[in-house]
Amino acid sequence: MLPKWFDDWNRDNPTNIYGPAILVGALGGAIFIAAMLVAFGQPFATKSIQTGPRGTGMSVTEFVNEIERPDPTIEDYLTEEPYIPQPGDALAKDIYENVQVLGDLTEDNFNRFMNAMTFWVAPEQGCAYCHGEGDLETYGEDNLYTKVVSRRMIEMTQNINENWDGHVNANKEVGVNCYTCHRGQNVPSDIWFSITPVVDAMTGWGAVQNRVTEQSQFTSLPSDALETYLLNYGVIGVHDLESRVEGSPADEGFPTIQDTERTYSLMNYVSNSLGVNCLLCHNSRAFYDAEQVTPQWATASLGIAMVLELNNDYLVPLADVYPEERLGPIHQDAPKAACRTCHKGYQQPLQGLNMIADWPELTTSEAPVYE
């Protein structure tokens, strides 16, 4: 009645009765634990976001302890309700010198914003970070690069909220402000610089891949995907699905295997930046079909277009303003933004916190409207 291996063990080891008992006990314990997991559910429960029709595999699954993990930077966020302007209130541009942006704010709202920006960007240095150690009479001077950059960043933030509503307000009206990227740091985390070629001993395709870099998300994928698609207006695309397609990599617009690898590198970066997988935007059985993507695909596409504009119109032109220590280590280029600069591993920056509720000054380049 007993298994043959059991009889053989007893014959060969007549005095060792513990070996089979331990084995049987371990197997029985494993079966019991497996049965309990099936009966009561897995200990690390998951939640999923349905991104397409049921039965198509279009859902993004995340562990509960990750999806519900609060962003640790939210608790440090400083905000303050605006002062409703009254008739006759003097404007900042009429009181202070050299106010090139935010001049239509009343004095109280202007100082309120300056105070908040100090906490968002330079909590340790305070006002001196942009204005220096001089008296208040010197605050109108543009002697420090930080003030020149800050002015341009305010204009960039206004542009994002004013012209890229389809991306930043895709789910609800939340917008962005300085804290979205800076989180209390002078220089935002997750900026990037050009680093290619990553191999000096060769030219061509081999010089941009097969080296583990931050830009390639520490894979052997190409390290120039951010540079190609978020700076140089490269066309995102993969090699043709058909075999023996006529054409040559020398032909303009011809999708090559290298383009495919670059695209994978970019998509891997985007997924990690938002803490999601491919199915947030794509249908798993038709990645290539633009008619079967999710609404999030359009939001992400707008985000890529937005980052292209921010890098080319706002960030790269500041290269001549920055001191040497703020430039890239290889090409001495200006710091640039990408998805993770704002998202920092979450599907929505700061988990959907409304960043413009108290800051109508950042929603328009015109005079703000207070309610």
Q: Which residues are annotated as a binding site for heme?
A: 114, 127, 130-131, 153, 167, 178, 181-182, 267, 278, 281-282, 339, 342-343
- Which parts of the chain fold into alpha helices (H)? 4-12, 18-40, 64-67, 92-95, 107-121, 128-131, 145-163, 165-168, 178-182, 225-229, 257-274, 295-309, 339-343
Identity of residue 255: P
The DSSP symbol for 190 reads T
d(C-alpha 364, C-alpha 367), whole Å: 7
CB 329 within 8 Å of CB 198: no
CB proximity list for 353: less than 8 A, separation 6 or greater: 74, 77, 174
Annotated binding-site positions? 114, 127, 130-131, 153, 167, 178, 181-182, 267, 278, 281-282, 339, 342-343
- E strand or H helix that includes residue 59: strand 59-63
Strand partners for 124: none
Closest CA to 152 of 133, 184, 178, 190: 178
Q: Which two tokens stand for residue 123?
A: 């909590």
Buried b (16+ CB within 10 A) or exposed e, 347-367: bbbbeebebbebbbbbbebee
Question: 159-171 in b/e burial notation, b at 16+ Cβ within 10 A?
Answer: bbbeebeebbebe
CB atoms under 10 Å from CB of 100, counted, come to 12
DSSP string, 239-301: --SSSS-S--TTSTT---HHHHHHHHHHHHHHHHHHT--GGGTS-TT-TT-GGG--HHHHHHH
Distance CA 34, CA 28 (A): 10
